[in-house]
Structure 1
Amino acid sequence: MHTQTNLMFLIAVIVSLMLSQGESQPCGPSSIDVQQMNTGKKVGTLDTVFRVTVENRCVCTVKAVVVQANGFTSSIPVDPRLFRKAGDTSYVVGDGQQIASTNSVMFEYAWSHYFQITPASVQVEC
């Protein structure tokens, strides 16, 4: 009976390890939420100021968050530590630094219309 209990325990440990290996990267770009809000402020007569919030909804800390923003431009300066170009349409968020779970990075830009900003890649640190 003791041998059977040990065998069952060993099987349970092996199954548990196999399951945890499959969950080593629980989050990806879809766990980054990008929200934009019209602040109601104007720059000049045409450009609207938009506030962008990039939130980490992963249970783990993330870093090197990259988003796509085709054609992005702004009539006001955007702090490059918060949002900077990293390719043709790629932008690094938060200087590539860690963003803890449920934390966010915010920045504002101004243009005559909002730009679609979508998560592209992220490095997960669990």
Structure 2
Amino acid sequence: MDEGCAGAEDIAIYQGHASSLPGGVPAYKVDVINQCMGDLDGGDCAIAGIHVRCGWFSSVSLVDPRKFRRLGHDDCLLNDGRALLGGETISFEYANSFPYELSVRVATCVDPTTTP
């Protein structure tokens, strides 16, 4: 865990298998973690506008678009663009015949008191 915000470098994406859908379609659980831990409440490590490289991401099961949605090819938005505080995790599951390679494209350190 770093001291002070480093933007995209502070965001980690972990992906693993989840329970398959009834039709046998594989499912995957994704955890996106803001690993920055600057102050006790994580406020100086708020990171927003997190865009993820995601190819042509699609899912057989609905993914809450406020958590993760594809904007275009290789551009998915996490958490509706809102900030993740230091130590915070956002998780979602998707189902497809194969896992997508997900990596952070861009993320911006923000002041959490001025973001919605």
TM-score category (smaller protein)? 0.7 to 0.9
How many residues end up aligned between the 2 structures? 101
TM-score w.r.t. the length of structure 1 is 0.73
Fraction of identical pairs, as percent: 26
**Paired position in structure 2 for 1:54:** 32
Give 2:6's match in structure 1, choosing from 6, 15, 27: 27
The question of whether the paired residues in 2 share the 8 Å contact of 1:34 and 1:54 is answered with yes
TM-superposed deviation, 1:74: 0.7
State the match for 1:85 in structure 2: 70
Give the TM-score, by structure 2 length: 0.79
Question: Which position in structure 2 is the counterpart of 1:17?
Answer: none
Output the aligned Cα RMSD: 1.5
Query: 5+ unaligned residues in a row in structure 2: which ranges?
Result: 38-44, 112-116
Contact 2:27–2:95 (8 Å) recurs in 1: yes
Work out the CA distance in 1 between the residues paired with 2:61 and 2:30. 14
1:111 aligns with 2:96: yes
**8 A contact 2:47–2:84 mirrored in 1:** yes
